[in-house]
Amino acid sequence: MSLSPVHARRRLIGLAAALAALGGGLSALPAQAQSTPVKFQLDWRFEGPSALFLLPAAKGYFKAEQLEVSVDAGNGSGAAVTRVASGAYDMGFADLAALMEFHANNPTAPNKPVAVMMVYNNTPAAVLALKKSGITKPADLNGRKLGAPVFDAGRKAWPIFAKANGISGATWTGMDPALRETMLVRGDIDAITGFSFTSLLNLEARGVKTEDIVVLPYPQHGVKLYGNAIIASQSFLEKNPQAVKAFLRAFTKGVREVIADPKAAIAHVKARDGIIDADLELRRLKLALEATVLTPDARAEGFGEVKGPRLSLMASQVSDAYGTKERVKADAVWNGSFLPSAAERAVFPKK
């Protein structure tokens, strides 16, 4: 049935009014919050400890904070610091000593990263030897042949360890990381430096029994260096301060879950790298947590925090041991103003 011109005009007017009302209603709806993209650089491959970052990403904790976080594997703390400084990444995970070294050797760099949360309250650096070498304590390292890659954190901090333990006469051999433990097993060197939770498992993988390995952790022998921290570029901090706070909130929530159930956390590492040995990486994660996160120092200082006197001492020690161009300025490498509240950072299980 056709409409008369009058009826047709009335229907058009009614339709226009309805569309106008609908448009007004839509404009009254709250605008969808935009997510902030965050490119995050790990210090190393997807192994057990990376669960600290992969779990909150996989479980949507970053998304819940309006963040679009991409987590990429790395190849060393020094590279992580450089990539964040270059702007290729917004945030990263790196050894605080490597960050200090970058600051002191690049004083005029425009975008020097800053540490915003301490994760490894104690450095995981350690000296490892085989019992058959006769090395059982630091004093046994006098005059010995040691080996490690030139960029290894333990090797670079060796002068601090040596001074604290009165060691002299040690000589060094450099090698690719993949050869470090092999050379020790072959007897080419007497001892190595490395992250305790990495080199220990690597030695076991080469057929050495756990009871035949001597581990001398730096923190247990007079070296109170901080370990890995979350870092952010200065430009990202200035442009996205709320995003940094949101990242640390989501990360902290994830850390609490990783500590409570490490086995479940490893599933998220396996999802990113299907060839890993889940049982091996579970052990690595537990060793890393025990050596760096769940330590008496971390409990005393509070998860995520640093203490001024200890940070200043580390800055002085790194300046000397690393032979930096300028002295490290402790207050330039750390900014704790983005940390979640103390209650939110209560991640330690009750004893």
SS3 sequence of the chain? CCCCHHHHHHHHHHHHHHHHHHHHHHHHCCCCCCCEEEEEECCCCCCHHHHHHHHHHHCCHHHHCCEEEEEECCCCHHHHHHHHHHCCCCEEEEEHHHHHHHHHHCCCCCCCCEEEEECCCCCCEEEEEEHHHCCCCHHHHCCCEEECCCCCHHHHCHHHHHHHHCCCCCEEECCCHHHHHHHHHHCCCCEEEEEHHHHHHHHHHCCCCHHHEEEEEHHHHCCCCCCEEEEECHHHHHHCHHHHHHHHHHHHHHHHHHHHCHHHHHHHHHHHCCCCCHHHHHHHHHHHHHHHHCCHHHHHHCCECCCHHHHHHHHHHHHHHHCCCCCCCHHHHECHHHCCCCCCCCCCCCC
Q: How confident is the model at residue 62, as a pLDDT?
A: 98
Q: How confident is the model at residue 11, as a pLDDT?
A: 60
On whether residue 56 sits in a domain, the answer given is: yes
What is the rounded distance in angstroms from the CA atom of residue 135 to the CA atom of residue 213?
A: 10
pLDDT grade, residue 264 (50/70/90)?
Answer: very high
State mean pLDDT over 316-323: 97
Instruction: Check whether residue 114 and residue 236 sit in a common domain.
Output: yes
pTM for the full predicted model: 0.89
Q: Virtual CA dihedral for 253, 256, 259, 263, nearest 10 degrees? A: -50
Q: How confident is the model at residue 73, as a pLDDT?
A: 97
Using a pLDDT cut of 70, give the percent of the chain over it. Answer: 91
On whether residue 345 sits in a domain, the answer given is: no
Among the three residues 170, 205, 221, which one is the final residue of a domain in this structure?
221
- Answer positive or negative: Cα dihedral of 138, 142, 145, 148: positive
State mean pLDDT over 334-349: 97
Instruction: Check whether residue 161 and residue 181 sit in a common domain.
Output: yes
Instruction: Check whether residue 243 and residue 332 sit in a common domain.
Output: yes
Total number of residues shown for the chain: 351
On whether residue 304 sits in a domain, the answer given is: yes
Q: How confident is the model at residue 350, as a pLDDT?
A: 85
On whether residue 255 sits in a domain, the answer given is: yes
pLDDT grade, residue 9 (50/70/90)?
Answer: low
Q: How confident is the model over 270-295, as pLDDT tens digits?
A: 999 999 999 999 999 999 999 999 99
Instruction: Check whether residue 108 and residue 179 sit in a common domain.
Output: no
Instruction: Check whether residue 285 and residue 208 sit in a common domain.
Output: no
Q: Inform me whether the pLDDT recorded for 1 exceeds 50.
A: no
Instruction: Check whether residue 217 and residue 239 sit in a common domain.
Output: no
On whether residue 29 sits in a domain, the answer given is: no
Among the three residues 221, 240, 261, which one is the final residue of a domain in this structure?
221
Q: Inform me whether the pLDDT recorded for 14 exceeds 80.
A: no
Instruction: Check whether residue 300 and residue 173 sit in a common domain.
Output: no
Instruction: Check whether residue 52 and residue 115 sit in a common domain.
Output: yes
Instruction: Check whether residue 196 and residue 314 sit in a common domain.
Output: no
CB burial of residue 32 (10 Å; 0-12, 13-18, 19+): exposed
The domain containing residue 305 runs over which residues?
Answer: 36-122+226-338
State mean pLDDT over 206-232: 97
Instruction: Check whether residue 117 and residue 148 sit in a common domain.
Output: no
Average pLDDT of the chain?
Answer: 93
Work out how many domains the chain is built from and give that number. Answer: 2
Q: How confident is the model at residue 29, as a pLDDT?
A: 43
Q: Inform me whether the pLDDT recorded for 146 exceeds 60.
A: yes
Instruction: Check whether residue 185 and residue 329 sit in a common domain.
Output: no
Yes or no: say if 38 and 70 are a contact pair by the CB < 8 Å rule: yes
Among the three residues 164, 186, 221, which one is the final residue of a domain in this structure?
221
What is the rounded distance in angstroms from the CA atom of residue 97 to the CA atom of residue 321?
A: 10
On whether residue 184 sits in a domain, the answer given is: yes
Task: Give the side-chain half-sphere CA count within 13 A for 145.
Answer: 10
What is the domain-level CATH number for residue 113? 3.40.190.10
Q: Inform me whether the pLDDT recorded for 336 exceeds 80.
A: yes
Decide the pairing of beta strands 145-147 and 171-173: parallel
The whole-angstrom distance between residue 171's C-alpha and the CA centroid of its chain comes to 30
What is the rounded distance in angstroms from the CA atom of residue 264 to the CA atom of residue 10?
A: 65
Decide the pairing of beta strands 36-41 and 91-95: parallel
Q: How confident is the model at residue 27, as a pLDDT?
A: 43
State mean pLDDT over 158-179: 97
State mean pLDDT over 147-168: 96
Instruction: Check whether residue 240 and residue 284 sit in a common domain.
Output: yes
On whether residue 180 sits in a domain, the answer given is: yes
On whether residue 268 sits in a domain, the answer given is: yes
What is the rounded distance in angstroms from the CA atom of residue 214 to the CA atom of residue 241?
A: 45
Q: How confident is the model over 90-142, as pLDDT tens digits?
A: 999 999 999 999 999 999 999 999 999 999 999 999 999 999 999 999 999 99
- According to DSSP, the residues that pair with 92 across neighbouring strands are 41, 231
